[in-house]
Amino acid sequence: MVVKNVEEITVYAFVGPSGTGKSHRAQMVAKENQIDCIIDDAILIMNNKIVAGTSAKKADTKIESVKRALFSGEGQVEEMREALEKLKPKSILILGTSDEMVQKIAKNIGLPEISKYIYIQDVSTPEEIAAAKSVRMGEGKHVIPVPTFEIKKDFSGYLLDPLQIFKWKGKGTSPFMTEKSIIRPTYSYLGNYKISDNVLKDIIEYASRDVDGIYKLQRIKIETYPDGLVIFMDLTLEYGYNLVDILGKLKDKVKKDIDRLTAMNVLDIQLMAKGLHVPKQGEKKS
Task: Return the CATH number at 239.
Answer: 3.30.70.1350
In a domain, 133, yes or no: yes
Cα–Cα distances (Å) from 109 to 67, 81, 167, in that order, read: 13, 7, 32
Give dist(CA 37, CA 111) in Å, integer. Answer: 13
Domain shared by 130 and 74, yes or no:
yes
Domain boundary among 157, 183, 209: 183
pTM: 0.56
75/106 Cα distance (integer angstroms): 16
Q: Give the pLDDT confidence score for residue 149 in this predicted structure.
A: 45
Instruction: List, in sequence order, every residue forming a beta bridge with 12; answer none if it has no partner.
Output: 93, 116
**Within this chain, do residues 118 and 150 fall inside the same structural domain, yes or no?**
yes
Residues 72 and 102 in one domain: yes
What residue numbers bound the domain in which 264 lies?
A: 197-277
Are 120 and 223 in the same domain? Answer: no
Same-domain check for residues 120 and 202: no
Q: What share of the chain is helix, strand, coil (3-state, %, to 5)?
A: 35, 30, 35
Quote the CA–CA distance of 53 and 39 in Å, as a whole number: 9
Count of residues in the chain:
286
Considering the domain boundaries, does residue 95 fall inside one? Answer: yes
The candidate with the shortest Cα–Cα distance to 88, out of 129, 43, 37, 136, is: 37
Domain endpoint, select from 158, 183, 208: 183
Whether residue 236 is found in the same domain as residue 97:
no
Tell whether 4 is covered by a domain: no
The reply to whether 273 and 170 lie within a common domain is no
pLDDT values of the chain reduced to their tens digit, one per residue, 286 residues: 444 466 689 999 999 988 888 887 888 899 899 999 999 888 898 987 888 888 776 666 777 777 888 998 778 888 998 999 899 999 999 999 999 999 999 999 989 999 999 999 999 888 888 877 776 555 455 555 554 444 455 555 454 444 444 444 444 445 444 555 555 554 444 444 456 778 888 889 989 988 999 999 999 998 877 667 899 999 999 998 998 999 999 999 998 888 777 767 788 999 999 999 998 876 554 4
Handedness of CA 54, 55, 61, 62 (dihedral sign): positive
The reported pLDDT for the residue numbered 179 is 53
Q: What is the pLDDT of residue 11?
A: 96
Same domain? For 225 and 173 the reply is: no
* Residues 204 and 176 grouped into a single domain: no
- A 10 A CB-CB count for 217 gives 17
Q: How far apart are CA 215 and CA 254, in angstroms?
A: 16
Which candidate, 9, 8, 7, 13, places its Cα nearest to that of 120? 13
* Final residue belonging to a domain, choices 183, 210, 227: 183
The reply to whether 177 and 202 lie within a common domain is no
Number of domains in the chain: 2
> Is 27 in the same domain as 158?
yes
Q: CA-to-CA distance for 44 and 54, rounded, in angstroms?
A: 9
